[in-house]
Amino acid sequence: MAGLKYMSGFGNEFSSEDPRCPGSLPEGQNNPQVCPYGLYAEQLSGSAFTCPRPANKRSWLYRILPSVKHKPFTSVPCGDLTENWNEVEPDPNQLRWLPFTIPKTTEKKVDFVAGLHTLCGAGDAKSRNGIGVHVYTCNTSMVDRCFNNSDGDFLIVPQQGEILITTEFGKMMVEPNEICVIQQGMRFSVDVFGETRGYILEVYGAHFELPDLGPIGANGLANPRDFLCPVAWYEDRKVPTGYTVINKYQGKLFACQQDFSPFNVVAWHGNYTPYKYNLKNFMVINCVAFDHADPSIFTVLTAKSTRPGVAIADFVIFPPRWGVADHTFRPPYYHRNCMSEFMGLIKGHYEAKEEGFQPGGASLHSIMTPHGPDVDCFEKNSTAELKPQRVAEGTMAFMFESSFSMAVTKWGLHTCQKLDKNYYQCWEPLRSHFNPNWKPGKQ
């Protein structure tokens, strides 16, 4: 959408006012007796009041009517959105899904909320500790409806079709190869422009932050200046027929009615905002001598647990880069992990599995489930000439990695009918190369 403006930075103290109402931000205080333009002051807290300053998140919103003005919430059907991790028996197998079906506009109109499907997850929103992985498949915009997640933060990864997200803080256009984060409690509505699909990583009880860089230094990976936050925009719109606010609360959906648009924030300031990021801006670190570095070097954002170095979830990408390692099997190594690895593909072909893993599909390698390159990848790269080459050109795969042992939902295992039952066969042709008569030679 041409003309949208943003402010740059990650976790900054931002301030913004709609240019139609200059001076709408109060000067020198947060809640004056009477706000400019007769607005209401409302604080949105993303952390406890007493959190240390580096972790303290809140914003002040100056709005035409406060969000408390609504009819009571009532329960509504959740569709395929769930927090029930015990619907089906656990499955420790390597799992791969073909691209998830997007409903045809000619068959049924499905908006973003109706098109949410939970694939896997673990933990509990009530105890504020957990994770959910969802896909969205939709074909129509939300009309006089908004969504509010009281349980946690949404990290949204569009795969097909751009999405225009209207929030209380302003508007963001998010295209494939970009991501956005809508933090807990922020109301938003999604416009689409055709058949649309993407992935969502939801975390309870923590917010996403930039990973520590350690010896990398002061710069690198996802640089703070490349994150973009919307600028204030409001509509003073009455909706006599009823505006629906959908609230995800304790894993269930509830809805309430009000007679005005919730996007009535004329001005705001604070450090608790939605934001977006273009993955092409990621400054890639890679090995330049030998061996295949651990994928943690590709971490864009992390939601930390209380254990140092252990994440509730990391968002990791596998971007275009140079491969130059000598004497090295360059693709990802064979692996068993104490973390769960969920992968998706935005575009292109993933280097470890050229076939079968398709854009709009996914895979899950659960805790301690073996995984690694298929037979074609292994054979080709075991004998390849090791000259400098571009890796993942035109491709963007990503991983949601979590310390939680994630359970797959009934929708993921059965209802979606996209589970690739033959996935295990990509490793079946692997053969032994063991030679007991091998002797050390010149390397």
**Annotated binding-site positions for homogentisate:** 350, 371
Annotated binding-site residues for Fe cation read: 335, 341, 371
Of 329, 414, 425, the residue nearest 379 (C-alpha): 329
How far apart CA 130 and CA 203 sit, in angstroms, is: 6
**Angle, CA of 136, 137 and 138, to the nearest 5°:** 115
Active site residue 414: no
Round the CA-based radius of gyration of the chain to a whole number and report it: 23
How far apart CA 182 and CA 292 sit, in angstroms, is: 34
Assigned token pair, 204: 């309870």
The catalytic position among 292, 327, 414, 433 is 292
How far apart CA 186 and CA 182 sit, in angstroms, is: 7
Q: 268 forms bridges with which residues in the sheet?
A: 16, 61
Q: How far is CA 423 from the centre of its chain?
A: 25
For the four alpha carbons of 249, 65, 190 and 346, in that order, the dihedral sign comes to negative
Of 174, 149, 199, the residue nearest 316 (C-alpha): 199
Q: 277 forms bridges with which residues in the sheet?
A: 179, 227
Tokens 């973003």 found at: 112
Annotated binding-site residues read: 335, 341, 350, 371
Other CB atoms closer than 10 Å to residue 259's CB: what's the count?
A: 15
Assigned token pair, 70: 């609504």
Using CA atoms, how far residue 95 sits from 107, 173, 415, in Å, is: 29, 32, 15
Catalytic center residues: 292
